[in-house]
């Protein structure tokens, strides 16, 4: 988003969709880290795991060439790292802001920045370890969770792959939530949200969903959101995960960027057709998020449409 007009259009789509609360974040620059991965590295990993692409991503395998994956990763680093723009958007809105942890920093430097962000009014942190080539048991991850736990703030952790080279298994493994286990055992009161239920992937949607479910069953302070998941998968998640620890998310504008309302309708109509109860739908739609983020999602207008 390069100017105020684009920012206003972005916010207008959220508001027109009836969304009363959203999380806005930027991703700290990771371009220098990406430059350390050569095209030969990508080609070797692609050749090693091409059978997986052929098996699970037959419909889009023509797009998932080594060249495209390499290029997509660099385009991502250019487009997602306009961090100052995200801060400007946050200043123009009343939506909750999550401050992304810059995992390229040493733990002490990271801690200083996270503390400062809390003093500036940020309401939580977001960890995207894949883009920084860090496993989820890295000291920088523990630093972020420790500070959030001390302040009673939630930490959202990206679970699964990412566009570009991170769709390949070698790099997707950086988004494996099972690596969190040793840290979560120390911080049992921290509010931890595993985004995408650990399943973000174009090649294999649901890639780390089993690992995420194991954590949710083991730790009562671990939650999930269903952002960016195909709508047909979400009723299956409802059957496996505790309903009190699942919440809606869109991942807009990264996913379904044409209209967040259409994605929302697709998800909720799919759930209604699956037979979800009204009570559970309320929990999923807003109540669980209200508890985790300590906010009020609904306005008085909501009573008029119930």
The verdict on residue 170 lying in a domain is yes
Residue 22 confidence (pLDDT): 67
Beta-carbon contacts of residue 61 (< 8 Å; ≥ 6 apart): 53, 54
The verdict on residue 304 lying in a domain is no
High-pLDDT (> 70) share of the chain, %: 87
Residues comprising the chain, all counted: 306
Residue 87 confidence (pLDDT): 58
Longest dimension (CA), the chain: 59
Per-residue DSSP letter, 98: P
Q: Dihedral (C-alpha) 26, 296, 117, 187: value to the nearest 10 degrees?
A: -100
Mean of per-residue pLDDT scores for the chain: 88
The verdict on residue 302 lying in a domain is no
The verdict on residue 299 lying in a domain is no
Nearest C-alpha neighbor of 138 from the set 105, 115, 165: 105
Count of structural domains, the chain:
1
Q: What is the pLDDT of residues 231-283, one digit of tens each?
A: 999 999 999 999 999 999 988 877 766 678 889 899 999 999 999 999 999 99
More confident site: 87 or 117:
117
Q: What is the pLDDT of residues 75-116, one digit of tens each?
A: 888 876 565 555 565 555 556 667 778 999 999 999 999 998
The verdict on residue 28 lying in a domain is yes
Tell me how far CA of residue 73 lies from CA of 46, 78, 80, 152, 262, in angstroms: 14, 9, 10, 34, 27
Separation CA 109–CA 103 (nearest Å): 10
Q: What is the pLDDT of residues 28-74, one digit of tens each?
A: 889 899 999 999 999 999 999 998 888 888 777 888 899 999 999 99
Residue 237 confidence (pLDDT): 95
Q: Assign residue 203 the CATH number of its domain.
A: 3.20.20.140
Q: How many CB atoms lie within 10 A of CB 221?
A: 18
Residue 306 confidence (pLDDT): 52
Separation CA 288–CA 251 (nearest Å): 17
Question: Is the model's pLDDT at 3 over the cut of 80?
Answer: no
- Residue 117: pLDDT band with limits 50, 70, 90: confident
The verdict on residue 27 lying in a domain is yes
Question: Is the model's pLDDT at 300 over the cut of 70?
Answer: no
**Paired strand residues for 119:** none
In three-state secondary structure terms, 305 is: coil
- Residue 27: pLDDT band with limits 50, 70, 90: confident
- Residue 215: pLDDT band with limits 50, 70, 90: very high
Nearest C-alpha neighbor of 142 from the set 124, 155, 160, 151: 155
Residue 76 confidence (pLDDT): 85
Query: Residue 206: left (phi > 0), alpha (psi -120 to 50), or beta?
Result: left
Lowest pLDDT segment from 85-89, 128-132, 147-151? 85-89
Which residue range forms the structural domain that includes residue 201? 4-293
Beta-carbon contacts of residue 167 (< 8 Å; ≥ 6 apart): 64, 69, 161, 201, 202, 203
Tell me, rounded to whole angstroms, the distance of Cα 222 from its chain centroid.
14
The verdict on residue 306 lying in a domain is no
Beta-carbon contacts of residue 251 (< 8 Å; ≥ 6 apart): 195, 196, 227, 228
Question: Is the model's pLDDT at 294 over the cut of 80?
Answer: yes
Question: Is the model's pLDDT at 26 over the cut of 90?
Answer: no
Tell me, rounded to whole angstroms, the distance of Cα 277 from its chain centroid.
26
The verdict on residue 153 lying in a domain is yes
Residue 133 confidence (pLDDT): 97
């Amino acid at each position: 988003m390069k100017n105020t007009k684009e920012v206003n259009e972005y916010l207008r789509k959220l508001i027109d969709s009836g969304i009363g609360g959203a999380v806005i974040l930027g991703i700290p620059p990771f371009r220098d880290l990406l430059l350390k991965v050569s095209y030969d590295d990508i080609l070797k990993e692609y050749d090693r795991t091409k059978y997986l692409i052929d098996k699970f991503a037959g419909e889009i395998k023509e797009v998932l060439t080594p060249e495209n994956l390499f290029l997509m990763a660099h385009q991502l680093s250019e487009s997602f790292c306009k961090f100052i723009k995200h801060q400007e958007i946050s200043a123009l809105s009343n939506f909750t802001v999550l401050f992304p942890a810059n995992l390229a920093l040493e733990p002490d430097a990271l801690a200083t920045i996270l503390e400062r962000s809390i003093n500036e009014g940020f309401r939580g942190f977001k960890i995207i370890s894949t883009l920084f080539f860090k496993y989820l048991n890295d000291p920088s991850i523990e630093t972020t969770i420790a500070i959030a736990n001390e302040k009673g703030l939630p930490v959202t952790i990206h679970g699964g792959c990412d566009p570009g080279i991170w769709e390949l298994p070698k790099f997707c493994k950086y988004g494996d939530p099972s690596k969190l286990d040793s840290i979560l055992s120390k911080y049992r009161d921290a509010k931890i949200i595993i985004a995408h239920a650990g399943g973000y992937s174009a090649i294999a949607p649901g890639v780390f969903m089993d690992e995420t479910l194991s954590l949710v069953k083991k730790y009562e302070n671990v939650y999930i959101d269903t952002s960016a998941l195909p709508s047909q998968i979400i009723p299956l998640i409802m059957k496996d995960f505790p309903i009190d620890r699942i919440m809606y998310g869109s991942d807009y504008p990264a996913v379904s960027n044409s209209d967040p309302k259409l994605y929302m309708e697709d998800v909720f109509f799919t759930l209604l057709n699956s037979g979800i109860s009204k009570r559970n739908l309320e929990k999923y739609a807003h109540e669980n998020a209200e508890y985790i983020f300590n906010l009020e999602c609904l306005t008085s207008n909501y009573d008029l449409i119930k």
